[in-house]
Amino acid sequence: MVDQQDRNDIGPVLWRGIGAAKGIEMLAVFCSPSRYVQGRDATEFLGKELKHLGLAGPALIVASARVESALSDVWKRSLAAAGIDYVVHRFGGACSQPEIDAGVTAARAAGARVVIGVGGGKCLDTSRAVAATLSLPMVNCPTLASSDAPCSALSVVYNVDGAFDRCIFYPKNPELVLVDTSLVAAAPRRYLVSGMGDALATWYEARTVIEARATNQLGGATTIAARALAELCCRTLFADGVDAALAVDSHAVTPALERVVEANTLLSGLGFESGGLAIAHSVHNGLTAARQTHAFLHGEKVAFGLLVQLVVEGRPSSELAEVIGFCRSVGLPTKLADIGLADLDDTSLQAIAERTVAPGETAHHEAFRVTANMIRDGILAADAIARH
């Protein structure tokens, strides 16, 4: 995956990227949450962890009705023991500007001093936006390992119709990320597998950014720590992905599941943000232009985007086969039909390709100029390779 020559090629170099002045050596930048906690029944320790960090109430908990129903008794025990008052704000299901505005209003009404997001990636994205708007500490408690969003300092915002709108970047990562693997094990397999799709792209996109001397998501150069974490993320998935998915099928917390949850959440979260993104995530954004893909999860679309990236970059067929093989082994999409686009027409294909290469997209972190025609052909070729 990474040979010694690749390792020796990291050092003081001139980096380029969006907003970088030509010929200026950029600083390497790495970021992470202040504290990461993971394990069985971790929610029971939420109050203790907040107190450890000096965070006090009132707290605004942003959560769906389903999550509140499942965890309300645990919150009462854990937060009461720490002397932290809280109010629950009902999350509506999408990270959109109206949802963010509603959360801000609720936080102000509660006099919140900390925002706690509990749920999936979109809930956590919304919570981060609420906290950042009010300059409040942010705590993320993912109930799924379906994406690498929990550790990050950004939110992906969608329009009310479900299409990608924009990314919001924040100056600070969450104060605390607390992952209860009992909740992850109780969720359907599809969510863990989607997280694997998101995490799978981490190494391949970071590698592209490093090779291109482009900037990571922080606007700086990639550290060797970020590179190592991104590579370890990929190795962990290949080693434990199938066993972790089988564990979730049985609602069992196993060492393999713990390792994959950490890969999906922590390794991928640090790896994508401090390592950088490329075509795979841009293809995801492009795919949201097709309404047929809205029923599919973020990581499912990123997995297909990774295949497109490998094709457009001209990577060896053996590497593409390895990625396709892993995707099939855990149940990730590899074909257009797998993401609702079996009958993709030329107009929709062109719209996806053009959205993928919109100004500011991470597809432009490649070492070469990426065009809509390249993406269009890459989508068709990736689908054909996976089918045949």
Q: What percent of the chain has pLDDT over 70?
A: 94
Residue with tokens 């950042």: 132
Give the tokens for residue 113.
């001093």
From 125, 240, 298, 383, active-site residue: 298
Query: 3-state class of 371 per DSSP?
Result: coil
Torsion angle, alpha carbons of 367, 371, 374, 375, to 10: 100
Say whether 364 is catalytic. no
Q: Of 220, 194, 224, 195, which is closest to residue 207 (Cα–Cα)?
A: 224
92-117 pLDDT, tens per residue? Answer: 988 999 999 999 999 999 999 999 99
327-345 pLDDT, tens per residue? Answer: 999 999 999 999 999 999 9
| Integer Cα distance of 267 and 270 in angstroms | 5
User: Residue 20 above 80 pLDDT?
Assistant: no
Tell me, rounded to whole angstroms, the distance of Cα 231 from its chain centroid. 16
30-86 pLDDT, tens per residue? Answer: 999 999 999 999 999 999 999 999 999 899 999 999 999 999 999 999 999 999 999
The burial class, CB within 10 Å (0-12 / 13-18 / 19+), for 346 is exposed
Mean pLDDT of 352-369: 96
Other beta carbons within 10 angstroms of residue 5's beta carbon come to 7
Say whether 294 is catalytic. no
Helices (H) and strands (E) in the chain, counts: 15, 8
| Domains along the chain with CATH numbers | 35-186 (3.40.50.1970), 189-387 (1.20.1090.10)
Which of 39-43, 100-104, 119-123, 186-190 has the weakest average pLDDT?
119-123
Please answer whether residues 206 and 230 qualify as being in contact, where contact means their C-beta atoms are separated by less than 8 angstroms: yes
Model pTM?
0.89
From 148, 180, 281, 364, active-site residue: 281
Confidence of residue 26 (pLDDT cuts 50, 70, 90): confident
Please report the pLDDT score of residue 293 as a whole number: 94
Please answer whether residues 77 and 132 qualify as being in contact, where contact means their C-beta atoms are separated by less than 8 angstroms: no
From 89, 180, 284, 364, active-site residue: 284
| Integer Cα distance of 173 and 149 in angstroms | 11
Q: Of 231, 233, 234, 211, which is closest to residue 221 (Cα–Cα)?
A: 211
Confidence of residue 200 (pLDDT cuts 50, 70, 90): very high
